[in-house]
Structure 1
């Protein structure tokens, strides 16, 4: 799939219509491998999670659509009065190059629009080198290397914490995006956030 062929990227709140798709994505081995909880999730557990999500005003769970096809998720949790924690994953394998960068930009832009939010935070398992590299590219600050969290694939790991001061993103967005291919920046500037 060519980058120039992508016409539209938008985020919508997770609804019952996408619930089974998200359950399938969340149980994919490459997604489970980078989650705090890497075990398979049953359908009743997933339904219970969604029911709880609908009643939790501190959480926002969005679906990324490319050309009207769901491909991944972006989610936020208010963890302090002025701090949002975020995460994401791409479940579909047929996405154009740069979709991960789009999610990174979208997370920062979404949080920066919330004027009461000062900091965007992300937790990353220490073996997830591609996400650590991406956060570094965007100038996140590593605030905690994390203590020992466990062992996966015979490898000890920790949970690293990264912070982004949103005032810095507002001020430096264009400089950061200058490091990224222009087609991705153009697509990011056209992202829409839809609310039900």
Structure 2
């Protein structure tokens, strides 16, 4: 059994709601989101109820040995051009370093192999250098640089639009598996 088998992506359930609310309101996560304001419980429940009505969004809980550690969000699923956008984070502060690569791997594998999509886009606020480098490690390339007006932040921010195709993922997948074998958790 490889270390990768210790990780999984599980469907979002109501039992995860309080944990995700806690994660979403941590400063190190909120500060990198489009809306960096504190999320009230009622706003969180509204988000969940809206998610349940969506057919173009999927939320997965990233686990290690059954313990929830983070979240992968797949949204704006476009059946015509077989694309989506994604977001993710490790929510548990005490998680071992290096888990993100496993979460990214499982997320992309799910998107390309299960959902059968062709392109994944990620939007990265330019000051989130860690996320930009993470995307590049997974095989994403910079598509374009955009300015986005965020009313929640009352500012205009610069965004890197990054993308990876199914073909590029196929090239990156095996080398990432080899790299993950050397990571000690």
TM-score strictly above 0.5: yes
Structure 1 regions of 5+ residues with no counterpart? Answer: 188-196
Stretches of structure 2 lacking an aligned partner (at least 5 in a row):
none
Partner deviation per Cα, 1:21-72 (whole Å, 9 max, x = no partner): 1001101000001101110111011111111111111110111121221111
- Residues 9/116 of structure 1: CA separation in 2 closer, same or farther (3 Å cut): closer
Equivalent residues in 2 for 1:167-178, closer than 5 Å: 167-178=167-178
Partner residue in 1 for 2:94? 94
Residue in 1 aligned with 2:123?
123
1:147 aligned counterpart, secondary structure? strand
Out of 25, 31, 34, the position equivalent to 2:32 is 34
Structure 1 ranges of 4+ moved more than 4 A: 4-7
Structure 1 residues 42 and 181, CA, compared in 2 at 3 Å: closer, same or farther? same
Change in CA separation of 1:56 and 1:6 when aligned onto 2, cut-off 3 Å: closer
1:14 to partner: Cα distance: 1.1
Cα pair distance change 1:15/1:53, threshold 3 Å: same
Q: 1:136 to 1:7 in 2, by over 3 A?
A: closer
SS class of match (1:50): helix
Indicate the residue corresponding to 1:11 in structure 2: 9
Matched-pair contact (CA < 8 Å) for 2:102–2:180: no
SS at match of 2:127: coil
The 5 Å alignment of 1:156-171 reads 157-171=157-171
* Bigger relative contact order, structure 1 or 2 (CA pairs below 8 A, ≥6 apart): 1
**Alpha carbon RMSD of aligned pairs, Å?**
2.8
Task: Count the aligned residue pairs.
Answer: 180
Map of 2:73 onto structure 1? 75
- Cα distance in structure 1, aligned partners of 2:176 and 2:3: 24
The reply to whether residue 22 of structure 1 matches residue 20 of structure 2 is: yes
Deviation at 1:181, TM superposition (A): 4.6
Listed one character per residue, the Cα deviations across residues 69-116 of structure 1 (whole Å, up to 9, x for unaligned) are 111101101342210111101111121221111122122111111464
| Alignment partners' CA distance in 1, 2:139 and 2:94 | 28
Deviation string for 1:170-189 (max 9, x for gaps)? 244223555x35334x99xx
2:44 maps to what in 1? 46
> 8 Å contact 1:6–1:67 — kept in the other structure?
no
